[in-house]
Structure 1
Amino acid sequence: MTSTDSQPFLSVKDLKVHFSTEDGVVKAVDGLSFDLVRGKTLGIVGESGSGKSVTNLAILGLHNPDSTKIEGSIELDGEELNGAPEKTLEHLRGNKMAMIFQDALASLSPYHTIGTQIGEVYRKHTGASKAESRARAIEMLKRVGIPQPDRRVDSYPHEFSGGMRQRAMIAMALVCDPELLIADEPTTALDVTVQAQIMDLLKDLQQEFGTAIIFITHDLGVIADIADDVLVMYGGRCVERGPKAEVLRTPQHPYTFGLLGSMPSLDGPVDVPLNPIPGSPPSLLNPPTGCRFHPRCAFAEKVPDGRCAKESPLLEIVDGRGKACHLTDEQRREYLTDTAAKAH
């Protein structure tokens, strides 16, 4: 079954990922739903521990089944992945879906050359010969902008710079032309110049291949550069989602307000202080009742009857915009007006 441009290539419905530990059950992801079409980038943003990486490891089927309970549906091009045999997932990983990890040095084997590691993926999924795999590795290194690829194919990871290692990871992820690419904070450890180069590379490759991309980050500046749509996660749940420009320009959830308020502005007054979110992310062993953000939310007291602490808000989707918040539209507009006044 092949999806059309109007149908989601990836569809996640009511995903729950719970880990069994000695201290109890960790509800790392607790009822997450989203769709992604071909050729588009979904940016997933949130603090550490919000469930971003756990979600994408579940899509790839990389969790330990002995200690992890996964519920819900994960459909890739119409094929259900949750509960699929490991042999099926092994065929899909690298071939139809692939992941770029945050730490390239930790993800690459120090004992094998870059070319060997890229070529091994290609051989596994295509049955190509060693000579064909080496030629493909050189081709991919050239495609991701590695200079002298016919020579650097025999280099080891420690002989590459951080930016070059990340490019090599991208080459490995794309060697079999996957239709879904998951990038887990791939530019976090890189300087700004190299980060921009990697972002441009991903956009160029997406345009060339029509790849669907999930880009995980805690940096809204990166989201502004690369994403088409944004999904904001907090405490294992989606609290806001929608088109990038709309979410960044008119956020609808207090947590998204807080993330934007924590960022310095390059075009605003230099004397405006940052406004960090107070408190700490919730424990997913024992998450707060009601809205999981309410202990840190400056607006919880504005909602009558203590509703934020008692009742978990539903994610309401209207014209592609979604929010999980008890605040009224009027209260939200008042906040945005006050914030804009303080900024000027």
Structure 2
Amino acid sequence: MTSTDQQPFLSVRDLKVHFSTEDGVVKAVDGLSFDLAKGKTLGIVGESGSGKSVTNLTILGLHDRDRTAIDGEILLDGKELLTATERELEQLRGNKMSMIFQDALASLSPYHTIGKQIGETYRKHTGASKAEARTRAIEMLRRVGIPQPDVRVDDYPHQFSGGMRQRAMIAMALVCDPELLVADEPTTALDVTVQAQIMDLLKDLQQEFGTAIIFITHDLGVIADIADDVLVMYGGRCVERGTKKEVLRAPQHPYTWGLLGSMPTLDGPVDVPLTPIPGSPPSLLNPPTGCRFHPRCTFKEKVQGGLCSTEQPLLEITDGRGAACHLTADQRRDYFADQTATRSH
């Protein structure tokens, strides 16, 4: 996803994250690779249970080390994260990399003011005084658009609206100017107007700081607004990736077609029903053989020899573009063209 002459700021190679449970081993992420450059946004999209959040919690080292088996490589600005100690990760978290969680109310402490929580993060990584940390907290609240920040800095989370709490979370995540920001569905619980404001805020702050952003979502509409590149996950694996334009305008995988087909459009006819993806996501305790999407795929009969159910399709990446599917390139192009024509009439 990055040009060959530019070293990626974040590089993930063949990442596997497996959890031990009473019922067996959960293969939450099963061989994932991608790159991300500074100042760029990677959108990771997929249904619940596809491995999106697990991937990014692993990048930040926020996993249970006693129950988690991890293999692969994660390089952040050249530093290997999977072999880093907890002390080293603590220094990186909040300073070099940071995360915005989906539920700001659950992530913020109800017992401390917004300003104290932002300020403590700043003090931990910079050694600033309490007065300096308070000044920095007010500055960050102003930067994320909180009105009267010098007054609201002393409010508690329950005194903020949902949108303001999310802005406060962004302020806390950015207080130490991290170079990597992971946003885990940060706008899911917000109304459309506030969602748009948060998206604009993230884009403005990225332009100001040059931050690399991983944006996790199940909503391709959000991806269309914020991402430079898109990675589509299903059953713990990447099934498609490319630039935003490539994935949204000329998708190559039946799962991506299904995601697009289940979304309403503003320019299409209002009387065309949405087409849900049949079936349910796979169990990661006992995933299907072959292509993990094949039990739900309406195109598997087009592939000769029943390969979809027996052989895992390779994800062949050329210039950052690829899809893991046994359909030929011509078949994929023709089937998607037919789907597009059907929806537009």
After TM superposition, list the pairs within 5 Å mapping 1:142-161 onto structure 2.
Answer: 142-161=142-161
**Distance in 2 separating the partners of 1:190 and 1:179:** 26
Query: What residue identity is the alignment partner of 1:324?
Result: A
- Which residue of 2 is the match for residue 90 of structure 1? 90
Tell me whether 1:53 sits opposite 2:53 in the alignment: yes
| Corresponding residue number in structure 2 for 1:243 | 243
User: Aligned residue for 1:298?
Assistant: 298
Rounded to whole Å, the distance in 2 between the matches of 1:117 and 1:333 is 51
Match of 2:256 in 1: 256
Does residue 200 of structure 2 align to residue 188 of structure 1? no
Pair 96,19 (structure 1): closer, same or farther in 2 beyond 3 Å: same
The answer as to 2:125 corresponding to 1:125 is: yes
Structure 1 residue runs without a partner (length 5+): none
Q: Kindly report which structure 2 residues correspond to 1:211-230, keeping only aligned pairs within 5 A, or say none.
A: 211-230=211-230
Q: CA deviation at 1:318?
A: 1.8
Name the SS of the counterpart of 2:317 in structure 1.
Answer: strand
Give me the TM-score of the superposition, normalised by structure 2.
0.98
* Residue type at the aligned position of 1:126: T
Q: State the distance in 1 between where 2:283 and 2:29 align.
A: 12
Q: How does 1:64-75 map to 2 (within 5 A)?
A: 64-75=64-75
Is the CA contact (8 Å cut-off) linking 1:15 and 1:31 kept in structure 2? yes
Match status 1:234 vs 2:234: yes
CA shift, 1:5, in A, is 8.4
Amino acid at match of 2:52: K
CA distance in 2, matches of 1:322, 1:220: 18
Q: Name the SS of the counterpart of 1:318 in structure 2.
A: coil
* TM-aligned CA deviation for residue 7 of structure 1: 1.1
Once the two structures are TM-superposed, the CA of residue 331 in structure 1 deviates from its matched residue by: 1.2
AA in 2 matched with 1:147: P
Per-residue Cα deviation, 1:112-155 (whole angstroms, up to 9, x for no partner): 00000000000000000100000000000000000000000000
Determine the structure 2 residue equivalent to 1:140.
140
Percent of aligned positions that are identical: 84
Asked if 1:10 is matched to 2:7, the reply is no
Partner of 1:99: 99
- Whether 1:328 aligns to 2:307 is no
What's the C-alpha RMSD, in Å, of the aligned pairs? Answer: 0.9
Other structure's SS at 1:279 match: coil
Alpha-carbon distance in 2 for matches of 1:335, 1:322: 17
Task: Give 1:319 deviation, angstroms.
Answer: 2.5
User: Are 2:255 and 2:297, in contact at CA under 8 Å, matched by a contact in 1?
Assistant: yes
Q: Secondary structure of 1:204's partner? A: helix
**Paired position in structure 2 for 1:338:** 338
Mapped contact 2:252–2:333 kept (Cα < 8 A): no
Quote the residue 2:205 is aligned against. 205
SS in 2 for 1:138: helix
CA distance in 1, matches of 2:340, 2:230: 22
Could you report, residue by residue, the CA deviation over 1:150-179 in whole angstroms, capped at 9, with x for unpaired residues? 000000000000000000000000000000
Larger mean Cα displacement after TM superposition, 234-243 or 328-337: 328-337
User: How many residue pairs were aligned?
Assistant: 341
Where do 4+ consecutive residues of structure 1 move more than 6 Å? Answer: none
Between the aligned partners of 2:319 and 2:133, the Cα distance in structure 1 is 47
Where 1:39 maps in the other structure, the secondary structure is: coil
* Structure 2 unaligned regions, length at least 5: none
State the SS of the aligned residue for 2:223.
helix
In 2, Cα distance between the equivalents of 1:333 and 1:99? 37
The alpha carbon displacement at 1:341 in A equals 2.3
Q: Which amino acid aligns with 2:210?
A: G
8 Å CA contact retained: 1:18, 1:70: yes
Contact 1:5/1:38, CA 8 A, preserved across alignment: no
| Alpha-carbon distance between aligned partners in 1 of 2:245 and 2:334, rounded to the nearest angstrom | 20
Tell me the distance in 1 between the aligned counterparts of 2:304 and 2:5.
44
TM-score for the superposition, normalised by structure 1: 0.98
